Amino acid sequence: MRLIGAGLLLLLPLMAVSLGVGAARIDLGAVLTDPWATLVMTESRLPRTLAVVLTGAALAVAGVVLQALVRNRFVGPETTGTAESAALGLLAITILAPTAPIWIKMGAAAISAMAGTAIFIWIIRRLPPREVMLVPVAGIVLSGVISAVVTFVGWQTDMLQYVGTWLMTGEFSGVIAGRYELLWIAAAAAVLAWFAADRFAILGLGDSVATGLGLSPKAVLRMGLAVVSVVTAMTITTVGMIPFVGLVVPNIVARLMGDDLRASLPVVAIWGAALLMACDLIGRLVIFPYEIPVGTVLGVLGAGIFLWLLYRRPARATA
Amino acid sequence: MIEISGVNYSIGGAQILRDISASLPKGKLTALIGPNGAGKSTLLRLIGRLEPLQSGRISLDGMDIRQTPTEALALKMAILGQQTHIVSRLRLRELVRFGRWPHHRGRPCACDHTAVEEALDAFELQPLATRFLDEVSGGQAQRAHLAMTFAQCTDWLLLDEPLNNLDMAHSRALMARLAEMVAGTGKSVVTVVHEVNYAAAWADHIVALKDGAIMAQGAPDEVLTEACLSALYDTPVTIANHNGRPLVLHHA
Amino acid sequence: MQLPEISRQNLILLTGLTLLLAAFSALWMLQGLPPEGNRSFILKLRWTKLAGLIVVGAATGIATVLFQTVAGNRVLTPSIMGFDSLYVLLQTSLVMMLGIAGVAALPVGEKFLLEVGVMTLLACILFGTLLGRGARDIPRTILTGVILGILFRSLNSFLGRVIDPIEFAVVQQNSMASFSRIDANLLPYGLGLALLAMVGAMLLASRLDVLGLGREVAVSLGLRHERVVILTLALVAVLVAIPTALVGPITFFGLLVAGMTHGLAQTARHAILLPAAGLIAATMLVAGQLLFERVMGQAAFLSVIIEFAGGLFFMYLLLKGRIR
């Protein structure tokens, strides 16, 4: 509970700052009276702040779920080929059915993300069981291979520009009302994960333990895959690739409060939101009024935290 | 003679060796014995400059191992560590050839060739000489490593648990060969042995380590006593006599 | 070291590779040459590109074999460990310190040599610490390198944005590999440095053979392990900087080449491995570029295809259990 409180204490002021910062100067006190201020607030500032919070929370939760499925702490949705697979699916549907409605495109991205993650899990189940560190390496290489395919296809079909926005570093500067609502679906998937938290925690202990406790490992695996894929696909298509949130936040929370997922998932969500909010603010303020994409900020900060985690905990620590 | 004085060694706050002073006689087979984690291997690796010396002094035939160039040391002593995985894909003969490297440093001559073939003969490796290292058994690979160390033709041989992976016959043959070498050619051997009876049967000098300190050192008769070994291994043992050498009994 | 039965086989291999490279090079120079007109101009253009491809290939191949020997591992490559990202970051930092105009005012050659010098220093410090004592926990070392790569790339784009949010794209161009854009001004410097580094590597060949036995055996044979490691890492840094400056970072090419080299040359002798790796890599690039540029008319794809094939090869090694 204390961690939730601390997280909120961090997150809420950050959100307030986020509402106040932007290229357009508005008087926060006059939001309700000044129509211009109201417009900026409801069309741009609020959607952006909400988008950051939803993305951060959902990605962090997806990271926890993925780590339980893979039984390895050193993976996140962006290091398992999930994000690149989502982009591949999106690219395929855009080529095959350019006029398809948005929900079909999202569905294609999510299904493709699921397939990519399933391939990853298939691969790592064939690795020697004790090679903890090879799992993320395999994931990063798989991401590279899929991303080469996406680039190749994008090139061939003159769609490299779209591909660029999905695979390059994510940013929230384009978020306005009407262009971020898909993220609510990601948040819903994260809530679903909380309801199934015990199942993921048990699966994290191993297939035989899960079976022994009367759970079907395959069913839990499928549900977990669905959560991770939906979150990743929605994030990728709305704001692009956001690295390290799903990787470092679950690690830090697990270090502080262990792996009781039902208790820790809300904490993970809040801290994920706070981390992303903080990074987004850094990106917005460093070269104000220009912006550094949040993905870039996280790439630097997240990699630093990750290296610290890598050398702090004993090398063999698995999920 | 190897002279060790005031050697301390610690890894990350854990004291592995404390104030070790000893001298290992030249022209003798010296065995380092002691329970797991006593620091035997560490001491051997320090002598063989595989680990950097933290404090104290070690000298080999009067040469300070910290001052003497590593190339010169390689002509005086050969050390065989516990087997590690070798990435290079090598045939056994190629591995043994590396034992001559300190002598020719890249430009071998006929005498190097002879030494390699002798070492291969000595360890019965001729039939396997063209096999790759990753295609032979652990024991065969161990013999190949030993042959490489022999091919180095040094006055001193330092061996870290050379009997690992070897069956009874090859273990016995190795110890007999070491003893013969010491007696016949005046070479000196220092070896870590896990099984105390190999030390009892072949060693001329024994150093017993426990918890990073020397508990006893001297001739086998002086060290391999019931009181000393029982305390060393925290296990009651009986010493019998077999063909004029002590035999340590500790089963039931 | 005389190895009669193997060395004949390797002689055939090296000769064959040299002939193959010569054949592709001739084809590259002469294929589809117009009977008259701008022949000399076209030849000059083609020559520049050919030389560039060969330098890039040979440097990458040799750097990878060297690095794998130092790391004691057949999966680590300088690119996977973030060497080329470090170089790109260095280029951006230079812009940061001197300003875009300041860098533009520097003579191309001096700037390149400066970058290579700093790169060598940094790489020796960073990777010397990481690998100096023969990387005990190899998977963690790989992961560290991969993450360092991400860190360098992110820092690079971070700096890029800070320097100039609008002209960001210009800086960013450095981080994409393209074999079509070989800087002719840089080529003489690259060629010279690469030759020097290759001679240095060949002089170390016998010591590298010993280094390949692992730290312990090497030290016991009287090799000055730390010194050879640092020297080799310095050579690797130079050999990575050259292709990165000429065409940009290519992640998996080195892995592909090193895998093929160790597969084709059944020996652990660097006197054979190093030239073989250089020849294989150069041949692959010349043949590949010939295929994509002349036959398929799509020059830009080569780097993408190489990344794809290299990545798949890595996965294959991983699943075969060859990566440990």
Residue B86 sits in a domain of what CATH number?
A: 3.40.50.300
Q: Which residue of B has its CA nearest to C3?
A: B94
Residue C300 has pLDDT above 70, yes or no: no
Q: Which chains touch B (3 or more CB pairs under 8 A)?
A: C
pLDDT tens digits, residue range C17-29? Answer: 999 999 999 998 8
Mean per-residue pLDDT, B229-244 = 88
- Is A23 near chain C, with CB under 8 Å? no
Eight-class DSSP state of A216:
-
- B110 at C interface, C-beta within 8 A: no
pLDDT in tens, C57-79: 999 999 999 998 988 777 778 88
In which residue ranges of chain A is pLDDT below 50?
315-319
Q: What is the pLDDT of residue C6?
A: 53
Distance from CA of B222 to the nearest CA of C (A): 32
Range with top average pLDDT, A35-39, A181-185, B2-6, C247-251: B2-6
Residue C203 sits at the chain B interface (C-beta within 8 Å): no
Closest-CA distance of chain C to residue B134, Å: 12
Q: Which residues contact C14 (CB under 8 A, 6 or more apart)?
A: C272, C275, C276, C279
**Cβ-proximal residues to A74 (8 Å cutoff; 6+ apart), any chain:** A132, A133, A135, A136, A247, A310, C143
Rounded to a whole number, what is the distance in Å from the CA of C210 to chain A's nearest CA? 28
Could you say which residues from 145 to 174 on chain C have a Cβ atom under 8 Å away from some Cβ of chain B? none
Highest mean pLDDT among A238-252, B238-252, C288-302: A238-252
- Preferred mutation among C77, C136, C155, C158 to probe A, highest tally of A CBs within 10 A: C158
In chain A, which residues have their Cβ closer than 8 Å to the Cβ of C319? 123, 126-127
- Token readout for C204 is 């170390």
**pLDDT at residue C5 is higher than 50:** no
In a domain, A73, yes or no: yes
- Put simply, the answer to whether B101 touches C210 (Cβ < 8 Å) is yes
pLDDT confidence of C209, banded at 50, 70, 90?
very high
Contact C139 A134 (CB under 8 A): yes
Burial class (CB in 10 A: 0-12, 13-18, 19+), A198: middle
Q: Does residue A238 belong to any structural domain of this protein? A: yes
Q: Average pLDDT for residues B203-225, to the nearest whole number?
A: 92
Pick the residue of A75, A126, A133 with the most C CBs within 10 A to test the interface with C by mutation: A133
Domain membership of residue B157 (yes or no) is yes
**pLDDT tens sequence across C108-126:** 888 888 888 998 898 888 8
DSSP for chain B, written as a single string: -EEEEEEEEEETTEEEEEEEEEEEPTTSEEEEE-STTSSHHHHHHHHTTSS---EEEEEETTEETTTS-HHHHHHHEEEE-S-----S--BHHHHHHGGGHHHHTT---HHHHHHHHHHHHHTT-GGGTTSBGGGS-HHHHHHHHHHHHHHT--SEEEEESTTTT--HHHHHHHHHHHHHHHHHH--EEEEE-SSHHHHHHH-SEEEEEETTEEEEEESHHHHS-HHHHHHHHTS--EEEEETTEEEEE---
Instruction: Please determine, for residue C3, whether its predicted confidence score (pLDDT) is greater than 50.
Output: no
Average of per-residue pLDDT across C194-214: 93
B156 exposure class (CB count in 10 Å sphere: 0-12, 13-18, 19+):
buried
pLDDT at C167 over 70: no
Query: A319 lies in a domain?
Result: no
What's the number of domains chain B is made of? 1
Name the minimum distance, in Å, from the CA of A208 to any CA of chain C. 24
C65 touches chain B (CB under 8 A): no
- For chain C, how many structural domains are there in total? 1
Closest A-chain CA to C309: A145
| Residue-number span of the structural domain to which B51 is assigned | 2-221
What residues of chain A lie within 8 A of the CB of C147, using their CB? 303, 306-307, 310
Mean pLDDT of B68-79: 92
The conformation of residue C293, written as its DSSP 8-state character, comes to: I
* pLDDT (0 to 100) of residue B105: 86
Q: Are C268 and B89 inside 8 Å of each other by CB?
A: yes
E strand or H helix at C43:
helix C39-71
CB interface of C with A, residues 157-176, below 8 Å: 157-158, 161-162, 165-166
The distance of Cα B138 from the centroid of its chain, to the nearest Å, equals 18
Cβ-Cβ pairs closer than 8 A, B with C, add up to 80
Mean pLDDT, all residues of chain A? 85
Q: Using a CB-CB distance cutoff of 8 angstroms, which residues of chain C are in contact with residue B44?
A: none
Would an 8 Å CB–CB cutoff place C281 in contact with chain B? no
What is the tens place of the pLDDT at every residue in C74-93? 777 888 788 888 888 888 88
Cβ separation A134–C165 shorter than 8 A = no
- The pLDDT assigned to C235 comes to 94
CATH number at residue A273: 1.10.3470.10
- Residues B162-189 have a mean pLDDT of 90
Query: How many separate domains does chain A show?
Result: 1
Tracing tokens 């925290």 back to the chain, one arrives at B234
Phi/psi at B85 (5° precision):
-70, 130
Residue B101 in domain = yes
Interface test with B, best of C204, C211, C221 (most B CBs within 10 A): C221
Nearest to B98 among C72, C213, C219 (CB): C213
List the helix and strand counts (H, then E) for chain C: 13, 0
Query: Do A and B touch (≥3 CB pairs < 8 Å)?
Result: no
Report yes or no: B12 at the C interface, CB cutoff 8 Å: no
Residue A34 lies in a domain: yes
Determine whether the interchain pair A141/C315 forms a contact, defined as Cβ–Cβ distance below 8 Å: yes
Instruction: Answer with the residue of higher pLDDT: B58 or C299.
Output: B58
Q: How confident is the model at residue C324 (pLDDT cuts 50, 70, 90)?
A: very low
Tens-place pLDDT, residues A279-306:
999 988 888 778 888 888 988 998 888 8
Give the residue-averaged pLDDT of C236-250: 88
Interchain CB contact of A120 with C (< 8 Å): no
Is the CB of A296 less than 8 angstroms away from the CB of C315? Answer: no
Task: Say what the pTM is.
Answer: 0.81
CB contacts under 8 A, A 64-103 vs C, are 74
Between residues B24 and B108, the one the model is more confident about: B24
Average confidence score pLDDT of chain B: 90
**Residue-level pLDDT at C299:** 61
Q: Which of residues 233-252 of C touch A (CB under 8 A)?
A: 251-252
Domain residues for the domain of C187 are 61-173+183-249
ipTM for the whole predicted complex goes beyond 0.90? no
The mean pLDDT of C310-314, rounded to a whole number, is 82
Region of C167 on the Ramachandran plot (φ > 0 left; ψ -120 to 50 alpha; else beta):
alpha
Q: Say if C283 falls within a structural domain.
A: no
Contact A290 C161 (CB under 8 A): yes
Q: Please give the residue that has the higher pLDDT: either B122 or C98.
A: B122
Nearest chain B residue to C73 by CA: give it. B87
Computed over every residue of chain C, the mean pLDDT equals 83
Confidence of residue C238 (pLDDT cuts 50, 70, 90): very high
Work out whether the CA dihedral C285, C286, C291, C296 comes out positive or negative.
positive
Its domain, for residue A82, covers 2-22+30-312
pLDDT at C296 over 90: no
Question: How many beta-carbon pairs under 8 angstroms link A with C?
Answer: 112
Range C164-168 average pLDDT = 64
pLDDT of residue A317: 39
Give how far C238 is from chain B: nearest CA, Å.
Answer: 24
- Partner A contacted by C316 (CB < 8 A): no
Whether B152 has a pLDDT exceeding 80, the answer reads yes
Of B93, B102, B88, B100, nearest in space to B123 by CA: B93
CATH number for the domain including C82? 1.10.3470.10
**Has residue A76 been placed in a domain?**
yes
Q: Residue B22 falls within a domain, yes or no?
A: yes
| Predicted local confidence at residue C166, as pLDDT | 63
